[in-house]
Amino acid sequence: MGNNKKKEPLCDNIAGEGCGLKKVINIVGGKWKIMILCVIDNNEVVRYGELRRAIHGITNTMLANSLKELETDGLVERKQYDEMPVRVEYNLTKKAKSLIPILLELKKWGEDNI
Amino acid sequence: MGNNKKKEPLCDNIAGEGCGLKKVINIVGGKWKIMILCVIDNNEVVRYGELRRAIHGITNTMLANSLKELETDGLVERKQYDEMPVRVEYNLTKKAKSLIPILLELKKWGEDNI
DNA sequence: CTGAATCCTTTTGGATACTG
DNA sequence: CAGTATCCAAAAGGATTCAG
């Protein structure tokens, strides 16, 4: 017999709805999320203000919204310390950490091919 | 000495401009591109009309625009046969084929984690 | 058959001011 | 300090019609 292995398709359903690949692209897509993940990953844990200063051009609106979505999607963890003034720290979840290596492969591909 | 390997950052520059990772997400992002790549990948070579019928809900506007961008970005190749009526076929480039395995990893991660 | 052109709607992103 | 609220601008997506 020859090589008759079935090829795995990028999407499993005709409409693309619920496609695992599209889901991933959605949760890390958008204008700022990769940068946010990057800064948190580089520092292990960062405060809100650090993120805003580190990411050139981001506004409160976008930073707060993006962080909330990343938290909802289980990529980022938020810890609030009720001091005065309040302090909030963000770190990557295990889930997010397991995604980083794949994103790095993608990055490498982009550097080599775009 | 302990473990002092440097971690590779998701983005190499502070602004995120020209980040290889963001570039990749941009060229395969958007509402339809993954589906388009998927259908072409599954069939090796497909005609315009096949694509439109295969991708539920896509319009001429979006299909034509997306194909043009994919072609510009070097992921898709377009071959026109000047018959009557005209026939056009699309296939993946080598570049695109080298990207597929990484996208499949991403897909797997999405299925396991979202 | 394979699109292009036009116009419109929806979504995303941003500026500014304000709050616990 | 860490956000919200409101309003506005820009970009992405879509319906429809037309053309080579």
**Per-residue pLDDT at B2 exceeds 90:** no
Q: Where are the domains of chain A?
A: 27-113
| CATH assignment of B27-113, among 1.10.3720.10, 3.40.50.970, 1.10.10.10, 3.30.530.20 | 1.10.10.10
pLDDT above 90 covers a percentage of chain B that reads: 87
Contact, A18 vs B114, CB < 8 A? no
pLDDT band at B21 (very low <50, low <70, confident <90, very high): very high
Say which residues have a Cβ less than 8 Å from residue A23's Cβ, sequence separation at least 6. B110, B114
Contact B9 A106 (CB under 8 A): no
pLDDT band at B1 (very low <50, low <70, confident <90, very high): low
By C-alpha distance, the chain B residue nearest A31 is: B22
Looking at CA atoms only, how far is residue B82 from chain A in angstroms? 30
Structure tokens at B70: 């994919």
**What's residue A3's pLDDT?**
64
Bridge partners for A46 per DSSP: A90
Contact A16 B28 (CB under 8 A): no
* Cβ neighbours of A66 (radius 10 Å): 21
Round to the nearest angstrom and report the end-to-end CA distance of chain A. 39
* pTM score over 0.85: yes
Q: What is the mean pLDDT of chain B?
A: 94
Residue B52 touches chain A, beta carbons under 8 Å: no
**What's residue B52's pLDDT?**
97
Residue B97 touches chain A, beta carbons under 8 Å: no
